[in-house]
Amino acid sequence: MNSQKMKMSDDGSGEERLARSNSQKRKRERFQMEMPSRVTSTSNPNIIGIQEMLKEFFQQQQQMEMQWREMMENRANEQRLFELEWRQSMEKIEKERLMIELVWREREEQRRTREESRAERRDALLTTLLNKLIHENDIEGFQRNFLLVVKPEKLHVLMFIALGNCMTLGI
């Protein structure tokens, strides 16, 4: 029988060696993969303690990350809320400014209207007075010619008398 085995081993020695080496590799790989589970399954207190410490450390890290994320989300929400309130207050201030400007323009227009009305009344009064003066002078027999120039922007009335005298009335 030994001779038969030898013959077989001689005949298929290359194939047999490959099969044996492959199965040994597989066993080694399986052993290495199972090694951590074997180590954990052992009751070595040092390894279990280290594993527990690592587990707690990772849990603390995850908890810290969650707290950090929540804090950053809260800050972002607060910032958005602040910006929204700021934008709303700026819009309110802008509306108030526009209303104040509108009121100012209306008052300015009313002031201009009153000023123009006063200027027209003043011009009419001066014209009436000057016409009365001319009429009275004609009645007394004095012949004088008047040229009336009204400049409302300077608020002066210039009266030129034919004799060459010049008189400025400031109003």
- State residue 134's pLDDT score: 83
Condensed to tens digits (0 to 9), the pLDDT of residues 69-128 reads 999 999 999 999 999 999 999 999 999 999 999 999 999 999 999 999 999 999 999 999
**What pLDDT band is residue 153 in, cutting at 50, 70 and 90?**
low
**Residue 87: which residues within 8 A CB-CB, separation 6 or more?**
none
Condensed to tens digits (0 to 9), the pLDDT of residues 132-145 reads 888 877 765 544 45
In the chain, % helix, strand, coil (3-state, to 5) comes to: 80, 10, 10
From the number of C-beta atoms within 10 Å of its C-beta (0-12, 13-18, 19+), residue 157 rates as buried
Alpha-carbon distance of 4 to 11, in angstroms, equals 10
Is it the case that residue 171 has pLDDT exceeding 90?
no
Condensed to tens digits (0 to 9), the pLDDT of residues 8-26 reads 444 556 666 666 777 777 7
Alpha-carbon distance of 115 to 112, in angstroms, equals 5
From the number of C-beta atoms within 10 Å of its C-beta (0-12, 13-18, 19+), residue 88 rates as exposed
Instruction: Kindly report the pTM of this predicted structure.
Output: 0.41
Is it the case that residue 148 has pLDDT exceeding 70?
no
